[in-house]
Structure 1
């Protein structure tokens, strides 16, 4: 099964409501899709989410990197040579992690098809069901409390609360949500780099003093401030999750070596795909550091790949893959199955896609 051709396109889907964090507000999903075609007629699909404020990747840069740098380096290669393909993918251009992720996902889709096996079984086969949280966008305390109640009514028992915009307001936000949903719902906080180290320690300690149960706080400080991240981790009791600070296996090793965070967040758009994410899982497993699998604003296409990774690896103990429930429509036929907070992996080969509607192909 050799790679002989590819197509690049884009999907545009309005969201049910604006997605708000301390970094940005988004109203539409606008992502790049790639279709890799083999000499056997098989097709593998991948997706890239342009998240310029985190990865630096834009819609145009992703498309250009795939067309001009990545695909020319792997055309003609045999899918069973997964290591060789990934070496070429990694070396053909630096950074551009989202573009690499799209191609990586499509190749792994074909790898599963080659052996007529669901991908998660080839990667480890640990489980075929996982439970995701759901994100509550940053807003006024009352609005966030209302949105949290709505999420619980829809069957979600784990909520990720976006904060990082105003110290006093952030405390009021988490207080309002906890009061609204009661003590049986798991709360996670995500500051998206919104605080400096002393602010983070001050806020988290106040939350601890108020006995508000929070499972962890995600990326409290700037992604570039490793010392600040460690300062927060060392000075609070609530576990700290590194997200924007970790793109690669080298970043994971550095965070673990310096004990700068308690947990690691793996996102395929940051790692450059499954191949690099597997390295992070191995490092984390070696040192007993649990991981979360997360996503950007992605459709079910690339989230399916993340689910297969989570299904494969026991070190991934936390899941934040609510991206596909945010758009108004789902153009993906096949892939994983969402039933409220439960995501199931069917027994189809590869990533299990049947078709993708409403894609505008460039070539």
Structure 2
């Protein structure tokens, strides 16, 4: 069972509503859909979506990496040599984490199909998953309206985008808290938008309000690890690293050095399921719980993230709502309110026509 060929197709998917963070605003996404074709006819599916402000990749660079060095590294490889194949993806080129993730996901999908088991079965677990719903950054009244709507749809955990202005951010959370049920919990994602001292001052102020905040995600610049630690050591609410975390090496330093309390793993940042597993396991050794997150991506890669999260024992938080923002039906998973359901079909359970040869 050898890798016969690898193909990639680029498509655009419109969003149902604009998605806004402290870093960017988008109304559609690009998806690079990757197929790994084995000599016995099995096709493994994967995908990647470029997020230039985080990974530095474009759709063109992802296509070039997949159809160039990654294809060269995998073609002719026996899929039974699975770990070798996964290693070849990571060694094929420098960086290009999203391109590597797409190939990694496709390889896991092909291997699961070859064994006739769902991906969560290959990985070894299927715990229950309930996702939060993201609230885009906007003026307080609009964010309150969106939050009330999300809570009414059954989402009892909201991930609120903030980070543009500390005082305005306080007003945003105050407005949201005034219209949602008392049992609804909040997670604040600053997307690197605050300075360390600003973050400490604002978080301490919020801590006195009893707003049901679970944690604060990436309050300072990704490269400011000392700033992360400064905030972590001076507030009570848990601090989570997102953009500061790309690899297992980053996870080792962040967790062993107690820079943060939590880690947000994203397949597009770390290069796929194999590296994500290493990150979660390293964090577990150091007593740091993890969340599985996603960029604004298609359901192909988000379903891969869900399979990984369902299987790894140290993934305790789930942020997998990206497909609900897209103007297309989810593949490989289904949503019942905030509950994410995975299937028993082999691999990811993805059969989209756009991913055809």
- Shorter-chain-normalised TM-score: which range? over 0.9
Partners in 2 of 1:341 and 1:81 — Cα distance? Answer: 38
Answer yes or no: is 1:312 the counterpart of 2:308: no
Partners in 2 of 1:73 and 1:358 — Cα distance? Answer: 25
How far apart are 1:63 and its partner, in Å? 0.4
Maintained 8 Å contact 2:151/2:181: no
Residue 179 of structure 1 is matched in structure 2 by: 178
How far apart are 1:226 and its partner, in Å? 0.3
Q: Deviations over 1:323-345 (max 9, x none)?
A: 10001122x6x512222211111
Residue 114 of structure 1 is matched in structure 2 by: 114
Residue 104 of structure 2 is matched in structure 1 by: 104
How far apart are 1:126 and its partner, in Å? 4.2
Partners in 1 of 2:121 and 2:52 — Cα distance? Answer: 33
Q: Deviations over 1:221-273 (max 9, x none)?
A: 00000000000000000000100000000000100121110000000000100
Partners in 2 of 1:14 and 1:133 — Cα distance? Answer: 21
Q: Deviations over 1:282-334 (max 9, x none)?
A: 1011122100000001111001100100110121000000010001122x6x5
Partners in 1 of 2:238 and 2:291 — Cα distance? Answer: 13
Maintained 8 Å contact 2:126/2:307: no
Partners in 1 of 2:281 and 2:80 — Cα distance? Answer: 22
- Out of 341, 346, 361, the residue aligned to residue 343 of structure 2 is 346
Residue 63 of structure 1 is matched in structure 2 by: 63
Partners in 1 of 2:265 and 2:272 — Cα distance? Answer: 10
How far apart are 1:358 and its partner, in Å? 4.3
Residue 3 of structure 1 is matched in structure 2 by: 3
Residue 241 of structure 2 is matched in structure 1 by: 242
Q: How many residues in Structure 1 have an aligned counterpart in Structure 2?
A: 357
Partners in 1 of 2:295 and 2:54 — Cα distance? Answer: 10
Residue 16 of structure 1 is matched in structure 2 by: 16
Question: If the length of structure 2 is used for normalisation, what is the TM-score?
Answer: 0.98
Answer yes or no: is 1:131 the counterpart of 2:126: no
Residue 28 of structure 2 is matched in structure 1 by: 28
Maintained 8 Å contact 1:70/1:89: yes
Partners in 1 of 2:106 and 2:12 — Cα distance? Answer: 19
Maintained 8 Å contact 1:80/1:114: no
Q: How does 1:1-363 map to 2 (within 5 A)?
A: 1-127=1-127, 129-330=128-329, 334-353=331-350, 355-358=351-354
CA RMSD in angstroms comes to 1.2
